Amino acid sequence: MTDSTAGMTPEEARRADEAHTGPMLAADGTPLKKSLARALRRQKLRALGLIAPLLVFVLITFVVPIGDMLLRSIKNDIVADTLPATVETLADWDADASELPGDDVWMAFYVDMWFAAERKEHTRLGSRLNYEQTGVSSLFRKTGRRVDRFDTDVYTDQLVDLDPSWEDPASWAAMLDGPAADALPLTAETWERWKEFNVEEGDAVLEEDVPDFLFTTLYYELNNGAEVDGMSDRLDAAKAAVGEFETVSLQEQFADADEDWLDPEVWKTIQLYSPRVTSGYFANSVDMQLTPEGIEPRPDNQQIYGILFKRTLFMSLVITGSCIMLAYPVAWLLSNLPMRTANLLMILVLLPFWTSLLVRTSAWKVMLQQQGVINDVLVWLGLVADDARLTMINNQFGTIVAMTHILLPFMILPMYSVMSTIPPSYLRAAKSLGATNWTAFWRVYFPQSVPGIGAGSILVFILAIGYYITPEIVGGNTGTFISNRIAYHISSSLNWGLAAALGTILLVVVLVLYWAYDKIVGIDNVKLG
Amino acid sequence: MADVTNGDAFVEFERVQKSYDGENLVVKDLNLSLPKGEFLTMLGPSGSGKTTCLMMLAGFETATHGEIKLDGKPINNIPPHKRGIGMVFQNYALFPHMTVAENLSFPLEVRRMSKSDREAKVKRALDMVQMGDFGGRRPAQLSGGQQQRIALARALVFEPELVLMDEPLGALDKQLREHMQFEITSIAHNLGITTVYVTHDQTEALTMSDRVAVFDDGRIQQLAPPDELYESPQNSFVAQFIGENNTLEGTIKEIKGDHCVVQLADGSLIDAKPVNVTQPGEKTLVSIRPERVEMNKERLSPDAHTLKAEVVEFIYMGDIFRTRLRVAGKDDFVIKTRNAPDQRRLQKGEQIEIGWLAEDCRALDA
Ligand SMILES: Nc1ncnc2c1ncn2[C@@H]1O[C@H](COP(=O)(O)OP(=O)(O)OP(=O)(O)O)[C@@H](O)[C@H]1O
Ligand SMILES: [Mg+2]
């Protein structure tokens, strides 16, 4: 053998050496790591193929809608989309000065409002801003009806008197195609919006009368010293004449429509909610509000969500706790009975699932109300005076009782499935080693049943924290959950942004608790079946 | 050790009966007493009531009737945790959420032993089963044999005087089982503890025990040291249950002292030793071990009866030859011969004559 090694060239020897010390090789000569990775990749692809249908389904029906919903909690396009020019001019307005905005804002707002009213978008904007300041909704509705009857036709008449060609839309088109567009930016932009609007409506812009607001913007810009000198005769004439024009105050026009426009608070609200992304919904859902000075707590009498969140958490914990107390002995009993009996009793545990949730909840109403079964029995027994019947419904107590009952099976099932895998021999072993019944249970049985408690608690807690129907029916004023408020915002007040923010916070709270649970107990200790 | 008087009995079952359902007796009239330090094995087919007996002794089942005494005192009303009996379960029942050391210190903790005492005892118990380095592991991280040792150590760590083991080696492979058999017996004898051991496996029972109690049908069929059990079974169940055995049906023709003549169904006569037959005319099942059958007529007494047999099958097994014969119309009669230089290898179809010493052939109940 030494001979053959000696006969190698140094290069061959080095390679042979490398083959020994280098990476392990598979039978076909590829590195072992690589071929292992390839084999695993094929397995992973197959696994992916198997779950692909579910993945797509979940993506389309869950992740995407939920994601969209959550985005609504910060999205705020409506102000910037409906009042683009106003938002731009209002940016320079100093809200703290408690003065009304200047003429440029009124001008821009007039144009924006005209288009919004024509497109019937002003009411939606009104309801949106109404979440932040009550009364804005009717303000916009009223103004929308008035905005195309403003007295701005005086500008039209005066300009047409100067030169009748102002009546011809073609002349406007020609003018704003040239250098005048740079000199009259607002008019040019408004002309573009007017053209777009006509395209939307299916009208030809050259066959429509030039609207009053274009004359108004033209007047406004000429009056403010637009440099149109030498561009055309009629512009020169107009510029020379505007100083003498009879004028209308847009501010007064708006104030005529609704005098609330003279309230700087309205303008503050519009300014605060101009950005396309807002933290306003989140601020609202933690009892804060956006102000020009930053985020501030709401006045005490308007704080409701903090209380609701705390109550939801507290009651969910109480419900989870009472479910554990009630379910543990039952699960223990079930897992220690012979299979046949256990299955029979299991049907009883599952029986509530076969009746409608509404029926069960309503049954609790019958049981717990002041003229209900329990009160009647207590009065009959003389334990409670007839005029001092207990209030057990439409409050927290009612919600806790009804929800504990409804969620109990979700606690029993995982507990049972864990307990039935704990062989009785462990308890016997503990006793044979000298442990009393209690020690044997506490030191040996209980630790092994913790995964069941954990799984049941997570299930019940997460179900409880988002529960809606039962608190709605039996909760009254003091027993409702945050989810009832979310439902209210989704279906009644239509403040979806706020609902989304509340939902997001709820989701985050659950995730944080889940994380904490993982840190404390360990999620691998949870056995769901 | 077989001749124990009730006076120094450590564990005693007196006329114990047990029924789970109120209809069938699982244990019928059990009487058993064992002295301190004895290693007793309960052997029997599945469902014969072995575990039930053990559970009654440990206190997890109550006897329906009769009395169980430990060290002279009745224990029927003592709860399991006060009996101080060590127990090794079939599936080991090591607590999965505790480490090996915690498992071992559990019985000491519940006895409120001080921490230093506990640690010393746990260490000693682990060393005894040669598992000193495994104290920090969880049971799930141990092999079957290692878990078995830990279970044994846990049952012994609090120094009980009586240890019960219910098929502790059932889950191990053959080699490990044989090794553990040896370890268990030597530990039990070194510590001088009394052991009640339950098994299915007759080899295990024969090799480990001082005495074996053969269970069937809720009764002890025979209680004897291993050699006696094998060589002098008291009834046909024990004869068939322990070791390989040939049986022939017949009727007693005549009885003279400890010799009798049995007539088989085809009319041929054989010699036997009457065990539990008393008079001529009785039906009997005679039992003879395959290695006690003689083919060499010269080794038998001149007036001995012989049987004609035809070789059905010859199997070479290395140290022995195993030959299956057709005898008295049935072809399941087996003989075993040593692979000695002078031993002839029989051919299939060959006609031979077989016989035996009367004391090797036992006439038992039919
Ligand atoms: N908890 C019980 N309830 C009802 N019957 C039982 C119970 N435990 C055992 N039995 C019955 O008692 C009889 C004896 O059971 P036991 O467990 O003592 O048998 P064993 O000899 O240990 O059998 P194996 O060798 O299979 O372990 C069996 O017929 C069994 O079905
Ligand atoms: Mg058993």
A197-218, pLDDT tens digit by residue? 999 999 998 888 999 999 999 9
Cβ contact (<8 Å) for A428 and B111? Answer: no
List Cβ neighbours of A332 (8 Å cut-off, separation of 6 or more): A419
Residue A480 belongs to some domain of the structure: yes
Q: Are residues A354 and A415 in the same domain?
A: yes
**DSSP letters for A377-427:** HHHHHTSS-GGG----SSSHHHHHHHHHHHHHHHHHHHHHHHHTTS-HHHH
Q: Ligand 2 centroid vs B94 CA: distance in angstroms?
A: 18
Is the pLDDT at A334 greater than 90, yes or no?
yes
pLDDT of residue A112: 94
pLDDT of residue A2: 42
* Separation of alpha carbons A299 and B8, rounded Å: 89
Which residues form the domain of A271? Answer: 82-149+250-278
Going by CA atoms, what residue is nearest to atom 7 of ligand 1?
B20
Residue A290 belongs to some domain of the structure: no
List Cβ neighbours of A136 (8 Å cut-off, separation of 6 or more): A126, A129, A130, A266, A269
Amino acid identity for residue A445 in this structure: Y
The CA-based diameter of chain A, rounded to the nearest angstrom, is: 118
- Domain end call among A47, A72, A97: A72
- Distances in Å between the Cα of A21 and the Cα atoms of A11, A16, A18, A87, A246 are 15, 9, 5, 71, 98
Length of chain B: 366
Q: Ligand 1 centroid vs B217 CA: distance in angstroms?
A: 11
Is the pLDDT at B133 greater than 80, yes or no?
yes
Residue A286 belongs to some domain of the structure: no
Cβ-nearest to A432 among B87, B91, B95 = B87
Q: Are residues A315 and A190 in the same domain?
A: no
Whether the domain at B11-236 and the domain at B244-365 fall into the same CATH topology: no
pLDDT of residue A431: 93
Arch. (CATH architecture) of B11-236 = 3-Layer(aba) Sandwich (3.40)
Q: Are residues A188 and A337 in the same domain?
A: no
**CB-based contact (8 Å) between B153 and chain A?**
no
Q: Are residues A357 and A458 in the same domain?
A: yes
Q: Are residues A256 and A186 in the same domain?
A: no
Query: Which residue does chain A place closest to B163, by CA atoms?
Result: A432
Q: Are A258 and A143 in contact (CB under 8 A)?
A: yes
Q: Are residues A224 and A169 in the same domain?
A: yes
Q: Which token pair is B227?
A: 């050699």
* Separation of alpha carbons A273 and A86, rounded Å: 12
What sign results for the dihedral spanned by CA atoms A62, A65, A68, A72? negative
Angle at which helices B144-157 and B174-191 pack, to 10 degrees?
Answer: 10
Interface of B with A in 90-119 (CB under 8 A): 90-91, 93, 95-97, 106-107, 110-111
Q: Which token pair is B150?
A: 């830990």
* Separation of alpha carbons B72 and B87, rounded Å: 20
* Separation of alpha carbons A490 and A484, rounded Å: 10
Neighbours of A406 (CB within 10 A): 23
**CB-based contact (8 Å) between B86 and chain A?**
yes
Q: What is the mean pLDDT of residues A96-112?
A: 89
Nearest CA of chain B to the CA of A428: how many Å? 7
Residue A367 belongs to some domain of the structure: yes
Amino acid identity for residue B276 in this structure: N
Chain A interface disruption, residue of B87, B121, B122, most A CBs within 10 A:
B87
Q: Which token pair is A156?
A: 């039209």
Distance of CA A114 to the CA centre of its chain: 31
**DSSP letters for B268-292:** -EEEEEESS--STT-EEEEEE-GGG
Q: What is the mean pLDDT of residues B122-147?
A: 91
pLDDT of residue A22: 61
The helix/strand count (H/E) of chain A reads as 29, 2
Q: What is the mean pLDDT of residues B262-269?
A: 88
pLDDT of residue B2: 41
- Distances in Å between the Cα of B149 and the Cα atoms of A430, B122, B155 are 17, 13, 10
Q: Are residues A272 and A323 in the same domain?
A: no
Q: Which residues pair with B256 in a beta bridge?
A: B259
Is the pLDDT at B285 greater than 80, yes or no?
yes
pLDDT of residue A529: 52
Q: Are residues A92 and A68 in the same domain?
A: no
- Give B106's contacts in chain A (Cβ within 8 Å): 430, 433, 435, 443
- Give A428's contacts in chain B (Cβ within 8 Å): 58, 60, 80, 87, 89, 93
* Separation of alpha carbons B44 and A434, rounded Å: 29
Going by CA atoms, what residue is nearest to atom 8 of ligand 1?
B52
pLDDT of residue A5: 45
Amino acid identity for residue A451 in this structure: P
* Separation of alpha carbons B153 and B162, rounded Å: 14
Residue B3 confidence class, pLDDT cut points 50, 70, 90: very low
Cβ contact (<8 Å) for A426 and B93? Answer: yes
R_g (Cα) of chain B, nearest Å: 25
Q: Are residues A328 and A372 in the same domain?
A: yes
* Separation of alpha carbons A290 and A276, rounded Å: 15
**Bridge pairing between strands B283-288 and B361-364:** antiparallel
Is the pLDDT at A316 greater than 50, yes or no?
yes
What are the φ/ψ torsions at residue A223 (nearest 5 degrees)? -65, -25
Q: What is the mean pLDDT of residues A405-410?
A: 92
pLDDT-above-90 percentage for chain A: 52
- Domain end call among A48, A72, A96: A72
Q: Which residues pair with B263 in a beta bridge?
A: B251, B269
Query: Which residue does chain B place closest to A424, by CA atoms?
Result: B93
* Separation of alpha carbons B104 and B108, rounded Å: 8
Nearest to B270 by CA among B184, B195, B360: B360
Cβ contact (<8 Å) for A432 and B81? Answer: yes
Residue with tokens 């509404």: A358
- Give A423's contacts in chain B (Cβ within 8 Å): 91, 93
- Distances in Å between the Cα of B274 and the Cα atoms of B252, B257, B307, B328 are 9, 8, 19, 20
**H or E stretch covering B366:** none
- Give A418's contacts in chain B (Cβ within 8 Å): none
pLDDT top residue among B155 and B2:
B155
Report helix, strand and coil shares of chain B as percent, to nearest 5.
30, 35, 35
Exposure class string for A132-166: b at 16+ Cβ within 10 A, else e: bbeebbebbeebbeebeebebebbbebbeebbeeb
Q: Are A450 and A368 in contact (CB under 8 A)?
A: no
Query: Which residue does chain A place closest to B96, by CA atoms?
Result: A448
* pLDDT tens digits along A225-260: 888 888 888 888 898 888 889 999 999 999 999 999
- SS3 of residue A475 by DSSP: coil
pLDDT of residue A6: 46
Nearest to B27 by CA among B60, B58, B1, B66: B66
Q: Ligand 1 centroid vs B51 CA: distance in angstroms?
A: 7
Nearest to B244 by CA among B337, B181, B333, B310: B333
Q: Which residues pair with A75 in a beta bridge?
A: A277
Exposure class string for B122-146: b at 16+ Cβ within 10 A, else e: beebbebbebeebbeebbeebeebb
**DSSP letters for A86-107:** HHHHHTT--GGG-----HHHHH
- Give B158's contacts in chain A (Cβ within 8 Å): 433-434
- Distances in Å between the Cα of A25 and the Cα atoms of A12, A33, A432, B235 are 18, 8, 55, 66
**CB-based contact (8 Å) between B196 and chain A?**
no
* Separation of alpha carbons A312 and A319, rounded Å: 10
List Cβ neighbours of B138 (8 Å cut-off, separation of 6 or more): B96, B98, B99, B100
Q: Are residues A462 and A373 in the same domain?
A: yes
pLDDT of residue B86: 93
Q: What is the pTM of this model?
A: 0.76
- Distances in Å between the Cα of B49 and the Cα atoms of B26, B54, B88 are 6, 9, 17
pLDDT of residue A25: 74
Residue A90 belongs to some domain of the structure: yes
Q: Are residues A443 and A517 in the same domain?
A: yes
**Bridge pairing between strands B39-43 and B361-364:** unpaired
Q: Are residues A134 and A255 in the same domain?
A: yes
Identify the contact set of chain A against chain B, taking CB-CB distances under 8 A.
Answer: 423, 425-426, 428-437, 439-440, 443-444, 447-448
- Give B83's contacts in chain A (Cβ within 8 Å): 432
Class (C level, CATH) for B244-365: mainly beta
* pLDDT tens digits along B219-228: 999 999 999 9
Cβ contact (<8 Å) for B80 and A432? Answer: yes
Q: Is A123 exposed, middle or buried (0-12, 13-18, 19+ CB in 10 A)?
A: middle
List Cβ neighbours of B139 (8 Å cut-off, separation of 6 or more): B92, B94, B95, B96, B100, B103, B147, B150
pLDDT of residue B5: 47
* pLDDT tens digits along B89-112: 888 899 999 999 999 999 999 999
Q: What is the mean pLDDT of residues B193-207?
A: 92
Cβ contact (<8 Å) for B81 and A426? Answer: no
Exposure class string for A221-243: b at 16+ Cβ within 10 A, else e: bbbeebebeebbebbeebbebbe
Nearest to B91 by CA among B198, B178, B168: B168
- Structural domains of chain A, count: 4
Give the residues surrounding ligand 1 with Cβ less than 6 Å away: B 20, 26, 44, 46-52, 200
pLDDT, mean over chain B: 89
| Sheet order of strands, B320-327 included | B330-338, B320-327, B307-316, B351-354
Q: Ligand 2 centroid vs B87 CA: distance in angstroms?
A: 14
pLDDT, mean over chain A: 88
Residue A193 belongs to some domain of the structure: yes
- SS3 of residue B88 by DSSP: strand
Cβ contact (<8 Å) for B154 and A433? Answer: yes
Residue A284 belongs to some domain of the structure: no
ipTM of the complex: 0.81
Q: Are A398 and A313 in contact (CB under 8 A)?
A: no
Q: Which token pair is A356?
A: 């409608």
Q: Which token pair is A51?
A: 């779950």
Residue A469 belongs to some domain of the structure: yes
Q: Is B146 left (phi over 0), alpha (psi -120 to 50) or beta?
A: alpha
* pLDDT tens digits along B322-340: 999 998 888 889 999 998 8
Give the residue extent of every domain in chain B: 11-236, 244-365
